[in-house]
């Protein structure tokens, strides 16, 4: 199949049936109303056909306040529950995710437009973080520190923080919730989740699973709460002083609003914002390997990952061949219904995303860029947006390249020296993910050094996307500076206490101070 061939889309009724079957399997009992405008109901849409499949009751601001109160009440007992016992809840959630992996992945495909393999991979990521967090529940280590005073012990301990508010984006509708929730729960926190209004169905399914897990292990029912609705509900989480940590995934614009508001009430914030990720390809690179990695990183999820490859910085000696091979690979990518066998590129999320892509490509042409691909594909439904991934040869890193467009656009720049390539990588305001393709160990180490890539993720000979849960995930600069998932990211969900214990009968003061 080539990108010019058309695959038949499922009907909206087909998708509604799949949603009902998934909900029945998972045990979600929410009322799914018929499509139609209603001020108190939230539309549940699909980018596969562009249809509204159902409407769902939208929560009121009063319901958000109640959810926070319920989570705060649950925290009063959950924080004193032994951490390994808290881990049992997350272990049970992981078991349920394994049991219902296919059903939840089907909802991800329907609601976010991900191909089957990527949807299953997102649910697997949830399972992985549950396994990580269960192990973490026995490893919330403090430390003992040498005291300068005789007969004294100095140590650090870590304690639960409180209610964690989680705001997630449409592109990873379930995995990012799991990153936060699995770790927060074993740390002794409770969670209130406001998902993207574009993905309420997957959120309802996740809530059904966590409620069942809590019931199965005897955990408080309100350790995890869900609120459904628009921006104003997220603002309740941002501004409520009972929310000790606000973890928000979204745009830089959103982060600029959220960060100062949480800081104004002295709350903690964890931001995962924009990414404008680059890969450097050196003269020594294995081009076969590089092309495979670049195509997945740039075209996977229809260019709608925060770690999507958006800039390719190629040495002048390999740029022509590299672009030729990537363009040829793009032309062979099957574009179509994400649930169909063989599809590799599904739809982008909505009309606004398509307009943003068209506007960026028009600006790139105006800036002297040469565009390959990027055309919209007629799938027989005007409300759905299927586009060919675009490659754009740019004469320079202009303003349009500096601005992340959440669509499958790969800008190609050339360089002559590695210092120049690193400067191009670091020149943009975002700092999430980066990569270098090289077989020269000096080039690799230089890219990873303190004066190399300034991103939170820096890879060698793999693409910019597809992070594993064992490492802390996040970035610098306008990406927000937050860290989620693995490594010691758990510390963001806890408060640190420094403890000094005097087990002597004397009272020496620190720094040799004498008083009286």
- Let me know: does 206 contact 177? Beta carbons within 8 Å: yes
Decide if 283 contacts 315 (C-beta within 8 A). yes
Tell me, yes or no, if 272 is annotated catalytic: yes
280-295 in b/e form (b: 16+ CB < 10 A) is bbbeebeeeebbebbb
Distances (CA, A) of 484 to 81, 401, 419, 443, 487: 23, 27, 30, 29, 9
Structure tokens at 354: 């398509």
CA dihedral of 228, 233, 234, 235, whole degrees rounded to 10: 180
Residue 366: left if φ>0, alpha if ψ -120 to 50, beta else—which one? alpha
Q: Which of 259, 236, 248 is nearest to 71 (CA)?
A: 236
Of the listed 111, 125, 197, 272, which one is catalytic? 272
Residue whose entry in the numeric block shows the structure tokens 């007969």: 151
Nearest one of 243, 246, 208 to 70, comparing CA atoms: 243
Query: In angstroms, rounded to a whole number, what is the distance separating the alpha carbons of residues 143 and 128?
Result: 27
Q: Which positions are catalytic?
A: 272
């Amino acid at each position: 199949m080539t990108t010019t061939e058309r695959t038949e889309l499922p009907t909206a009724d087909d998708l509604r049936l799949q949603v009902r079957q998934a909900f029945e399997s998972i045990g979600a009992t929410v009322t799914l109303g018929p499509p139609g405008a209603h001020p108190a109901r939230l539309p549940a849409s699909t980018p596969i056909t562009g249809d509204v499949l159902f409407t769902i009751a939208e929560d009121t601001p009063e319901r958000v306040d109640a959810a926070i109160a319920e989570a705060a009440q649950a925290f009063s007992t959950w924080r004193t529950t032994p951490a390994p016992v808290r881990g049992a809840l997350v272990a049970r959630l992981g078991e349920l995710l394994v049991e219902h992996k296919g059903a939840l992945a089907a909802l991800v495909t329907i609601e976010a437009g991900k191909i089957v393999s990527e949807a299953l991979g997102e649910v697997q990521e949830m399972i992985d973080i549950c396994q990580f967090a269960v192990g973490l529940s026995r490893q919330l280590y403090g430390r003992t520190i040498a005291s300068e005073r005789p007969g004294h012990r100095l140590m650090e301990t870590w304690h639960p923080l409180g209610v964690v508010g989680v705001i997630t984006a449409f592109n990873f509708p379930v995995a990012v919730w799991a990153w936060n929730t699995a770790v927060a729960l074993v740390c002794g926190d409770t969670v209130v989740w406001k998902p993207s209004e574009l993905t309420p169905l997957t959120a309802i399914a996740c809530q059904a699973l966590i409620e069942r897990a809590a019931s199965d292990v005897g955990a408080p029912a309100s350790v995890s709460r869900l609120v459904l609705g628009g921006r104003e509900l997220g603002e309740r989480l941002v501004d409520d002083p009972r929310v000790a940590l606000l973890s928000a995934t979204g745009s830089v614009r959103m982060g600029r609003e959220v960060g100062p508001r949480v800081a104004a009430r002295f709350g903690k914030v964890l931001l995962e914002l924009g990414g404008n990720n680059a890969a450097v390809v050196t003269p020594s690179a294995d081009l076969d390997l590089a092309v495979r990695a670049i195509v997945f990183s740039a075209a996977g999820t229809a260019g709608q990952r925060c770690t999507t490859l958006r800039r390719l910085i190629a040495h002048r000696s390999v740029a022509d061949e590299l672009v030729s091979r990537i363009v040829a690979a793009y032309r062979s990518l099957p574009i179509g219904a994400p649930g169909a066998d063989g599809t590799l590129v599904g739809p982008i999320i909505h009309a606004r995303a398509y307009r943003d892509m068209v506007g960026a490509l028009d600006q790139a042409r105006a800036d002297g860029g040469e565009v390959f691909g990027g055309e919209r594909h007629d799938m027989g439904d005007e409300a759905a947006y299927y586009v060919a991934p675009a490659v754009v040869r740019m004469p320079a890193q202009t303003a349009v390249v500096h601005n992340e467009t959440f669509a499958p656009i790969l800008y190609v720049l050339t360089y002559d020296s590695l210092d120049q390539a690193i400067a191009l990588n670091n020149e943009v305001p975002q700092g999430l993910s980066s990569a270098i393709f090289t077989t020269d160990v000096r080039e690799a180490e230089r890219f990873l050094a303190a004066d190399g890539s300034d991103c939170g993720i820096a890879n060698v000979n793999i693409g910019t996307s597809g992070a594993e849960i064992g490492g802390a995930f996040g970035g610098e600069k306008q990406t927000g500076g937050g860290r989620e998932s693995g490594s010691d990211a758990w510390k963001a969900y806890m408060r640190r206490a420094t403890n000094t214990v005097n087990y002597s009968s004397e009272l020496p003061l620190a720094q040799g101070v004498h008083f009286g």
